[in-house]
């Protein structure tokens, strides 16, 4: 297979399908860089709130989206050119409201509908593509951000399974949320993420589809790693 170096593996899918855990596992195992694009949208949303920018200004004013994307870029730590991962420090993630909460996710989903916001984050996301390769997780990684990815994975799981996983994650952090409310919020977010006009979450014909309802992180990662090995062997 002929492709552009460094290779990219995209992992797209609905909320709490295990994309993050699998991507981190694979990134640690292979030494590939890791882009958590959902975190970029979450942090972008928190900047919007902390800077008091109205949604109507954000939707129409390109200079605001561009400026906010530059603010995020300035908060990145790590080198863009080396094998070392670029990421956000815990201070950035927990700083102005924890980026990992359900509220931050719901607000991220809201601003992620805006074409100007998506455009402003495009170059920043692509700048994570560095040697020896990149694992990128999100909603439009394979369709828009890295359409030439070596391998595109669509990772899903049943809504109840995803709600249970997220419930456990939150509980481990000491956050108590009702399981039913969590499932409703995840299904609602999936609906918005897949029905919006700008870069919706969608299943791609050339994706490897994995339903992780009855699989754990190691099993899913093994399936992806095996496929990566087959493709990289032909690289
Ligand atoms: O993956 P996550 O739950 O952290 O993402 C939070 C929200 O950000 C998600 O509901 C939709 C948006 N998002 C997006 O629109 N495109 C991406 N590539 C990643 C996330």
Distance CA 182, CA 163 (A): 6
Cα 235 to ligand 1 centroid, rounded to whole Å: 30
Pocket test for ligand 1, best of 18, 37, 118, 169 (most atoms within 8 A of CB): 37
Distance CA 13, CA 148 (A): 18
Which parts of the chain are beta strand (E)? 8-12, 33-36, 76-77, 87-88, 134-138, 151-156, 208-211
Identify the pLDDT of residue 3.
Answer: 54
> Does residue 166 have its Cβ closer than 6 Å to ligand 1?
no
β-pair partners for 138: 12
Identify the pLDDT of residue 73.
Answer: 87
What fold, for 8-229?
A: Rossmann fold (3.40.50)
Distance CA 3, CA 6 (A): 9
Distance CA 127, CA 147 (A): 15
Q: Beta 151-156 vs 8-12: how paired, if at all?
A: parallel
Lookup result for tokens 């919020």: 185
- Answering whether pTM is above 0.85, one says yes
> Does residue 142 have its Cβ closer than 6 Å to ligand 1?
no
Sheet holding 151-156, edge to edge: 33-36, 134-138, 8-12, 151-156, 208-211
Lookup result for tokens 């949604």: 55
β-pair partners for 153: 11, 208
> Does residue 118 have its Cβ closer than 6 Å to ligand 1?
no
Lookup result for tokens 């493709």: 231
> Does residue 130 have its Cβ closer than 6 Å to ligand 1?
no
Q: Beta 33-36 vs 76-77: how paired, if at all?
A: unpaired
The tokens describing 85, both together, are 């991962």
The tokens describing 81, both together, are 């050119």
**Residue 164 to residues 161, 175, 183, Cα–Cα distance (Å):** 5, 14, 8
**Residue 168 to residues 6, 25, 42, 117, 162, Cα–Cα distance (Å):** 35, 19, 20, 31, 10
Residues of the chain with pLDDT under 50: 1-2
Cα 218 to ligand 1 centroid, rounded to whole Å: 23
Q: Beta 87-88 vs 76-77: how paired, if at all?
A: antiparallel
**Tell me, what DSSP letter sits at residue 5?**
S
């Amino acid at each position: 297979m002929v492709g552009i170096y460094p290779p990219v593996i995209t992992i797209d899918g609905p909320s709490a399908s295990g994309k993050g855990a699998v991507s981190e596992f694979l990134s640690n195992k292979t030494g590939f860089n890791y882009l958590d694009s959902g975190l970029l949208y979450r942090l972008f949303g928190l900047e919007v709130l902390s800077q008091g920018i109205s949604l109507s200004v954000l939707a129409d004013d390109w200079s605001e989206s561009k400026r906010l994307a530059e603010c995020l870029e300035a908060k990145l730590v790590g080198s863009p050119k080396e094998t070392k991962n670029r990421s956000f420090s815990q201070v950035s993630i927990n700083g102005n409201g924890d980026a990992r909460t359900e509220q931050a996710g719901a607000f991220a989903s809201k601003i992620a509908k805006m074409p100007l916001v998506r455009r402003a984050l495009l170059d920043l996301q692509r700048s994570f593509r560095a040697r020896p390769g990149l694992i990128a997780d999100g909603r439009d990684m394979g369709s828009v951000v890295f359409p030439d990815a070596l391998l595109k994975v669509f990772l899903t799981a049943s809504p109840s399974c995803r709600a249970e996983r997220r419930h456990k994650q939150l509980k481990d952090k000491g956050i108590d949320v009702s399981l039913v409310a969590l499932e409703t919020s995840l299904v609602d977010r999936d609906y918005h993420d897949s029905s919006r006009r700008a870069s919706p979450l969608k299943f791609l014909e050339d994706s490897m589809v994995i339903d992780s309802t009855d699989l754990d992180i190691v099993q899913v990662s093994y399936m992806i790693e095996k496929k990566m090995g087959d493709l990289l062997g032909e690289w």
